[in-house]
Amino acid sequence: MNKKTITKIGALLCFSAFFMLGSCKKTTKESNEKEEAKKEEQKKVYASDVTPFFNDWRLILGDGSNAGHANNFEHKDFFFTQKDGESNWVVYKAPNGGDTHGTSNNTRTELAQEKKWYPSKANDKLTATLKVMNVSTTGDARVAASYSVVVGQIHSADGHENEPLKIFYKKFPGHTKGSVFWHYEINTQGDDNSGRWDYSTAVWGNDFSVVGKEENTYPKELEDGIALGEEFSYEIEVKDGIMNLKFMSDGHETKTFTKNLIVSEYTTSANIPKQTQELFVPIGQDGVERKSAYAGEGCFFKLGAYNQTNGKSPEVNKNWCSGAETHKGDIQKQYKDGNYAEVWFKTASIKISDASVSNEGYFTKND
């Protein structure tokens, strides 16, 4: 064998060894990456790990889609978990504009309890600890719903499908603190529901009726309000037809309220509250409630971020149509400039008595 041939064989052997070494390194790297990805997946925390009760609920996302039971589920735009300090939180996020669910004008990322219960038979309870991280940066200050998000509800599944309870958070642009208030919506008498209206009660700060005098002019800053990122809790208990509400937050007075859900106090025009006469009656929402209120109707709890700020013109309805920026439904543009609602839930629990629950499964068509 001559010297030239030996040199070629040596070069070939060196190349082969180098190639094999490189392949081994590549295989080892790929194996390590797969192992790391597997470990990350195992460490992943889903919303159902934080609030493990998703078999009782269905999840609607901020694009109007129904995600069903949210066990081991996340969506990067609307529903995921976030670590803050020692706690994991469930994040619910909804833009000002986009595809909505049912007949609503508003987007939501929200859980709806899957089975309905009856107030007159109830011994039912929903509790939650949360913080609101963002409300829309745009809207018409004269419109009561602007800059607000609903973080908890009781909804009727029957009749007009109205809402005996909505819990709001609202903060005007430039303000440090926002308001927490709750609404009772009448269960309108008769077949025509166009006259329905809400009555708003302040918890901390103002109620729904406090608005700006001009489109971009805001009321004075609150003394007793809740800041973005400030934790608060609510408890909703319905027992034998009576709704009991409790609101708690460190550094704030605990507030409690009671409302009868099966005997109405709004059965005549003379009973319509002054707040409603000023806010709803001028736009034709001047109905009265049936005497039995929500008795005999199946109800269900809701929880999440139901964004009340939308892009519809205030000329349509000065209480609910905010005229906010929606970037023609482009979600990422809305998220970039703050035109969305975002709510973080630390804990949530539900207790439903067997006597009050209907075995009928449903998902409300309108809301």
Question: Using one digit for the tens of pLDDT, what is the confidence trace for 133-145?
Answer: 999 999 999 999 9
The answer to the question of residue 65 being in a domain is: yes
Q: Each residue of 120-131: pLDDT tens digit?
A: 999 999 999 999
pLDDT at 363: 47
In the chain, the amino acid numbered 8 is K
For the chain, what is the domain count?
A: 1
The answer to the question of residue 16 being in a domain is: no
The answer to the question of residue 128 being in a domain is: yes
pLDDT at 126: 97
Q: Phi then psi for 198, rounded to 5 degrees? A: -110, 150
The answer to the question of residue 218 being in a domain is: yes
The answer to the question of residue 111 being in a domain is: yes
According to DSSP, the residues that pair with 92 across neighbouring strands are 79, 343
In the chain, the amino acid numbered 222 is L
Residue 183 CA to residue 275 CA, distance in Å, equals 12
Structure letter (DSSP) for residue 219: P
The answer to the question of residue 366 being in a domain is: no
Which of 122, 144, 286 has its CA nearest to residue 218? 144
The predicted model scores a pTM of 0.88
pLDDT at 366: 43
Give the residue numbers spanning the domain of 192: 44-361
The answer to the question of residue 24 being in a domain is: no
Q: What is the mean pLDDT of the chain?
A: 90
Q: In angstroms, how far is the first alpha carbon of the chain from the final one?
A: 88
The CATH number covering residue 243 comes to: 2.60.120.200
Residue 254 CA to residue 128 CA, distance in Å, equals 15
pLDDT at 63: 95
Residues of the chain with pLDDT under 70: 1-42, 355-356, 358-367
Residue 319 CA to residue 139 CA, distance in Å, equals 12
Pairing status of strand 57-60 against strand 108-113: antiparallel
